[in-house]
Structure 1
């Protein structure tokens, strides 16, 4: 006796589906929901600081801030500058829960990182999302950094460790503050969890945007002081200095 009726009609072939680009809504022949033209027009990060990825006028340079005060993290890897349309996609993912935009950006970031791994970037032992404050997590309903880290981990076959860090103090929104205020705002805001395993590990912090680097610096310092061998930062976009044009 058959549990299902026999079906002799045509079956759905997923390879023939009408994939639409999320940016222009034109048909896309790619598996990802973005056409080649829109992908090429994204604000790809050009020459930048070899440490913090700050946009610079020439390749192979290190910015003055990183030379003067080397950060606790080793290197920032980011594919784009924080400008249109990436800034809009991140905002809609982060503040309007438009997860398809976040997933698309994570897929493209994963391809970018795999290319970097094939060239010169060391693969980390684990991806560590930047923790979100409890109040903001309840309001938003999700941590965008954790979602990005999970998508990246699945795509790159790298473990995602969400158990290492916690945010122990509620802080003001970072985007409303200047660099000095951001550093003060984050003082004692983070802590390692009680069972955190850090010593000797190469860890990569994951976040959506790097602005002044204050959050990344605070977390990287915490991890390095706990014995991490190296801390990198992976993010979707890097902002230029104020007045440099975003």
Structure 2
């Protein structure tokens, strides 16, 4: 009997049959972490959005910057989201971020890819980078959920990934636990471009994250990137917290 020279390769359909997934939202058995019915019901983006911050706007303002962005323009130029951060989608983000359900990241990246490609006239970035975690939080969690999302998104869009472009030089409190009026101050000076980073002069950078709430973290990052020479910064975020 000849010796096996390579590991046994199981057909994908057989593996899915032997190791089925359960939908995170409804529990239905299938071959994806979120079943097609739940994906259709909860992660389709249909409302007009401000092209800068991705907050909802009225139909008559579709494609225009909202009043908040006109009054106080952020450092970033555009934001694309896949869906709202609201029940039950918030469970997906929490399972990825705190539950180590890393299988959700490629699924979320596909939803985000579809949203990006559906934006008419949107210029794709030259490179992608994830929002960085501080060393202490990275050790506690064991992974950076933004990087887990950025990896498959990079492959899906064919855009180079720069996973160490940005560093978090200050350990800050989680924005979710900081009063809204203090969030801008909480992240001020927290980020920097890595000393050995590639040149950003004239480049378009896509910043990838799982959720966007106030936008102060992404605004701070965009400012850092532009001071380093970036010409344009686009946020690519799976879910956006609706305004109160």
| Same fold, judged at TM 0.5 (above) | yes
Residue 14 of structure 1 corresponds to: 12
Cα separation, 1, equivalents of 2:39 and 2:50: 23
Tell me if the contact between 2:21 and 2:33 (Cα under 8 Å) persists in the aligned partners.
Answer: yes
Residue 66 of structure 1 corresponds to: 69
Secondary structure at the counterpart of residue 161 of structure 2: coil
Q: Following superposition of structure 1 onto structure 2, how do residues 26-175 of structure 1 map, counting pairs within 5 Å?
A: 26-28=28-30, 32-45=32-45, 46-58=47-59, 59-116=62-119, 119-175=120-176
Which of these residues, 235, 238, 241, is aligned with residue 240 of structure 2? 238
Cα separation, 2, equivalents of 1:200 and 1:42: 37
Uncovered stretches (5+) of structure 2, i.e. residues with no partner: none
Secondary structure at the counterpart of residue 56 of structure 2: coil
Distance 1:220 1:12, change over 3 A: closer
Deviations 1:50-83 (A, max 9, x none): 2100122333342221001111111000010101
Cα separation, 2, equivalents of 1:195 and 1:170: 21
Tell me if the contact between 2:106 and 2:153 (Cα under 8 Å) persists in the aligned partners.
Answer: no
> TM-score, normalization: structure 1?
0.86
Deviation at 1:114?
3.0
Cα separation, 1, equivalents of 2:143 and 2:10: 34
Distance 1:27 1:97, change over 3 A: closer
Whether 1:181 and 2:179 are equivalent positions in the alignment is no
Uncovered stretches (5+) of structure 1, i.e. residues with no partner: 6-10
Task: Tell me how many residue pairs correspond in the alignment.
Answer: 233
* Largest Rg, 1 or 2: 1
Residue 2 of structure 1 corresponds to: 2
Deviation at 1:178?
3.2
> TM-score, normalization: structure 2?
0.87
